[in-house]
Homo-oligomer: A and B are copies of this chain.
Amino acid sequence: MPGPDAVGKSGPHHPRRPTMVDVAREAGVALRTVSRVVNGDTTVGEDFAERVRSAVDRLGYQPDERARQLRSGRTGAIGAAVRHIADAHPVLRAIDETARAVGLTVVAMSTEDDEERERDAVMSMCRRRMDGIIIEPIAQDHHYLQPEIDAGLPVVAFDRPAAGLDVDTVLSDNRGGIAQAFAHLTAQGHRRIGYIGDDERIHTGRERATAFRDALSGIGGTLDGMVHPGPVEPARVAAALAALRDRPDPATALVTGNFNTTVAVIRALGADFGGIALVGFDDFGLADLLRPGVTVVAQGDEEIGRTAIELLSARRANRARPTRTVIVSTRLIPRGSGESAP
Contacts and interface: CB of A to CB of B under 8 A. Distances in A.
Interface stretch (A144-152, A158-166, A219-227): A144-152
A129 interface: yes
A288 B151 CA distance: 50
Contacts of A60: 147-148, 150-151
Contacts of A109: 105
Interface in A36-68: 60, 62-67
Nearest to A94: B86
Contacts of A14: 152, 319
B86 A89 contact: yes
Contacts of A267: 288-289
B86 A88 contact: yes
A90 B86 contact: yes
Interface stretch (A120-128, A176-184, A230-238, A243-251): A120-128
Interface in A286-330: 286, 288-291, 319-320
A15 interface: yes
B65 A129 contact: yes
A108 interface: yes
A108 B96 contact: no
Contacts of A63: 127
A147 B64 CA distance: 15
B64 A127 contact: yes
Given A60-B150, A85-B85, A92-B86, A286 B271 contact: no
A12 B320 contact: yes
Contacts of A17: 151-152
The 3 closest A-B pairs by CB, nearest first: A86-B93, A60-B147, A65-B127
28 contacts: A13-B152, A13-B319, A14-B152, A15-B150, A15-B152, A17-B151, A60-B151, A63-B127, A65-B128, A66-B66, A66-B129, A67-B70, A84-B93, A85-B85, A85-B96, A86-B92, A86-B93, A87-B88, A96-B110, A105-B124, A263-B289, A266-B289, A267-B289, A285-B285, A286-B286, A286-B289, A290-B290, A290-B291
